[in-house]
Amino acid sequence: MNTLCRYALRVGAGSGLGLLACAGPMSGLDDLALRSATIAGVEDAEVELRDGVWEGEPFAKGAASRPSIDLVEGFVLRGGFTSPGHEEAAVLLRQNGGGSGTFLWLAILESAPGQPRSVATTLIGDRVQVIDFSVE
């Protein structure tokens, strides 16, 4: 039996994002599977996380600076975000494009053959401090 839950993400002073979901058993979206998800909507093309991290090619030949995305550990909410009974996971991703900014993204992942895939991503902001990521 599913339970109606309210998921809330609070960032900074007073701003927030709420999602409604029905929690239920999750298949293919455990923490280990999420670390190998395919992410769309952050870079120009889809990227595959490997052990929770993706690193692109260096910006210049021989340079150390390169784009990267990593899964923010400990920030996962599970439920049916796009429709009741649909199994998905909401995760936070940290993106660095080689400069001083660190961009935080919210991605909704669904179970797919082989590995989870993102079905929606949205930018939360640059250098955002997450205060809480919880089920209420």
Place of tokens 């929606």: 120
Structure tokens belonging to residue 2: 């599913």
In this prediction, residue 119 carries a pLDDT of 93
In this prediction, residue 62 carries a pLDDT of 84
Ramachandran assignment for 89, one of left (phi > 0), alpha (psi -120 to 50 degrees), beta (any other): beta
CA dihedral 53, 58, 59, 61 (to 10 degrees): 180
Whether 97 contacts 56, CB under 8 Å:
no
- Going by pLDDT thresholds of 50, 70 and 90, the confidence category of residue 11 is low
Q: Is 21 a residue whose pLDDT tops 60?
A: no
Instruction: Please give the model's pTM, rounded to 2 decimal places.
Output: 0.77
| Mean per-residue pLDDT, 6-25 | 48
- End-to-end, the C-alpha distance of the chain in Å comes to 18
Q: Is 35 a residue whose pLDDT tops 60?
A: yes
Mean pLDDT, the chain, rounded, equals 80
Q: Is 37 a residue whose pLDDT tops 70?
A: yes
**61 or 86: whose pLDDT is higher?**
61
Whether 52 contacts 35, CB under 8 Å:
yes
